[in-house]
Structure 1
Amino acid sequence: MIDRAVGRVRCASLVGVSALLLVAAPSLAQSSGQAPPPPENDDTLTIGAGVGYMPSYEGSDDYVLIPAAAVRGKVAGHNFYSRGTQFYFDAIPEGPGNSLDISLGPVAAVRLNRTRRIKDPQVRALGKLDTAIEVGAFAGIAKTGVITSDYDTLSFRVAYLRDVTDTHDSYVLSPTIEYGTPLSPTTYVGLSLSAERVGDGYARTYFGVTPAGAAASGLPAYTPDGGWKNVSVGLLGSVSLSGDLRKGWALFAVGNYSKLLGDFKRSPVVSVAGNSNQWLGAIGIGYTF
């Protein structure tokens, strides 16, 4: 039986190149109810590393192996975590013993889509793109003890990012629903559902084909509009090697499926040179201090 002091499990996840790769490592916080008093210092840090298998660009049907890393922690009640090339910091401190957590804070990201590892010769002929730096904010709410036990967590989060480097000079809006539960003191499983809505600049930078690009690549010219770009579902599992999910070493495995929609699915870089069905997998190891 899981001790009530174990508390709620959250997952830290890594979204790799093009925000597609999801690599996760679990951490735990204090639960509500009749748990023992929390420790004076509940600061924590989890670091994870692994390898992922994912499309070579967003919309590609060629896959590549990439290294990946993730970090998650809490200092003075403030949670922080990476999601691949994104980094979140929760400006609202989480109090001990709370079963309801409100989060709000800044988020920053580096977008590497089509900056390297382009395997398709037609898309490669369109030329490499510059790295985009995006900044914005996120807000969310999480509830512990909702479905299967006192320890599972259901959360909703929405993030808004804006390019500040004029690479795509547009925005990315991403709502996400996550559910996770420990099956035992050593095993954790989770499910996530998400979507992304992007602006015209994003659509035309990463999915458009200019007349000059059409001449160079042989792909038809194409000018997409912004809108809902994709929907995704992800699964993860983690097993502690130390006998306790709160500390020590843990192994994880992740799978994710994403479906491109609308103008993005119809783009020649997808419909001719790639595929609207996007798959990825990852395995790795993490350590919680």
Structure 2
Amino acid sequence: MIDSRFLAAAAVLFVAGAAPALAQDATSSAATDPQIADDYDKDSVTIGIGGAYVPDYDGSDNYRISPGPVAIGSVKGFNFSVIGNRGSVDLISNRPGQKIDLQFGPIAVLNFDRSTLSTIDDPRIRALGKRSTAVELGGYVGLGKTGIITSPYDRLAVSVSYRQGVTGAHRSYIWQPTINYITPLSRKAAVGFYGSAQYVGQGYADTYFTITPTQSIASGLPAFNARKGWKNYTAGGFATYSLTGNLLHGFKIVAGGGYTRLLNDYSYSPVVRIAGSKSQWLGAVGVAYTF
């Protein structure tokens, strides 16, 4: 089952965040000959499968391997992505040769955090009870610019997204600002970096980080009331390398890693402070194909 930790690790690999197909767009400009430029303006879809090294739950100090699919692409100038348990579409079409990219569109996320107790090693967390899968719907706005630092083809994008839990474990909100940077090294290779943070509402805090007196008796962890606020920040990087000639066609490998730090009440919750860790490490490797 794909969960929210795979989403974070997949973002390391495919720079998903709130800027769909960012890696594809930037690396597509890695050369200047007419054939590359012509290919860049064509419809393109990349599909892949990856394995991610992720915490058992948000705040855990135990880790496991989780697989998941990825699909990103651009059709008639509209970018889209389906990455693990998250899907998004940019409703503002891009024109051929465009350097400024305005982004706006919907996002949908299935939050599986603690919805399967069999994947959690710590018996104290299992004793807190199972959470229902949360359906989070929302949207994002962003701005991207090609030709920033290293060449006419590197790319920087900033965005902010908003999601609201509409069913399941919580009916709260998540704000997430994101920044991504990617630069091609050649037709066959590219590297990138990203950063993001999350501000969550009271319902989210109560669902995943508050411990009620009843839960305290069952788990042995002290009772705790978490409050809404900044939950974490994340920073990471990735690299991709073509196995079949260039990044516009065929197979490629991707690999990356990231670090997440839980903040404020979320780092003090016994779910994290006693049973887990406020430092979260993510890693992933995968294979993708572009056609």
Would you call these one fold, judging by a TM-score over 0.5? yes
Structure that is richer in helix per residue: 2
1:184-263 equivalent positions in 2, closer than 5 A: 184-263=186-265
Q: What is the CA–CA distance in structure 2 between the aligned matches of 1:18 and 1:65, rounded to whole Å?
A: 9
Q: Give the secondary structure class of the aligned counterpart of 1:265.
A: helix
Q: Is the 8 A contact 2:6 2:84 kept in 1?
A: no
What does residue 75 of structure 1 align with? 75
1:89-238 equivalent positions in 2, closer than 5 A: 89-116=89-116, 117-238=119-240
Q: Deviations over 1:44-94 (max 9, x none)?
A: 110111111110000000001111211101111100013431111011101
Q: Is the 8 A contact 1:38 1:97 kept in 2?
A: no
AA at the equivalent of 1:172: I
AA at the equivalent of 2:220: G
Offset, 1:28: 3.5
1:53-72 equivalent positions in 2, closer than 5 A: 53-72=53-72
Cα distance, 1:39–1:191 mapped onto 2, change above 3 Å = closer
Q: Is the 8 A contact 1:17 1:84 kept in 2?
A: no
AA at the equivalent of 2:146: T
Q: Give the secondary structure class of the aligned counterpart of 1:203.
A: helix
> RMSD value over aligned CA atoms?
2.0
1:27-42 equivalent positions in 2, closer than 5 A: 27-28=24-25, 36=34, 38=38, 42=42
Instruction: Count the aligned residue pairs.
Output: 275
Q: Give the secondary structure class of the aligned counterpart of 1:135.
A: strand
What does residue 20 of structure 1 align with? 8
Cα distance, 1:253–1:264 mapped onto 2, change above 3 Å = same
Q: Deviations over 1:169-188 (max 9, x none)?
A: 10011000000001111011
Cα distance, 1:40–1:266 mapped onto 2, change above 3 Å = closer
Structure that is richer in strand per residue: 1
Could you tell me the TM-score, scaled by structure 1's length? 0.90
Q: What is the CA–CA distance in structure 2 between the aligned matches of 1:283 and 1:232, rounded to whole Å?
A: 18
Q: Deviations over 1:201-238 (max 9, x none)?
A: 10110111011100100001111111000000011000
Q: Percent of aligned positions with the same letter in both sequences?
A: 44
Q: What is the CA–CA distance in structure 1 between the aligned matches of 2:249 and 2:112, rounded to whole Å?
A: 32
Offset, 1:118: 1.4
Q: Deviations over 1:136-175 (max 9, x none)?
A: 0101110000000011000001110000005211001100
Q: What is the CA–CA distance in structure 1 between the aligned matches of 2:220 and 2:6, rounded to whole Å?
A: 24
Offset, 1:119: 1.3
AA at the equivalent of 1:235: G
Q: Give the secondary structure class of the aligned counterpart of 1:17.
A: helix
Q: What is the CA–CA distance in structure 2 between the aligned matches of 1:42 and 1:254, rounded to whole Å?
A: 28
Q: What is the CA–CA distance in structure 2 between the aligned matches of 1:97 and 1:65, rounded to whole Å?
A: 40
Offset, 1:21: 2.0
AA at the equivalent of 2:89: F
> Which segments of 5 or more consecutive residues in structure 1 lack a partner in the other structure?
1-13
Could you tell me the TM-score, scaled by structure 2's length? 0.90
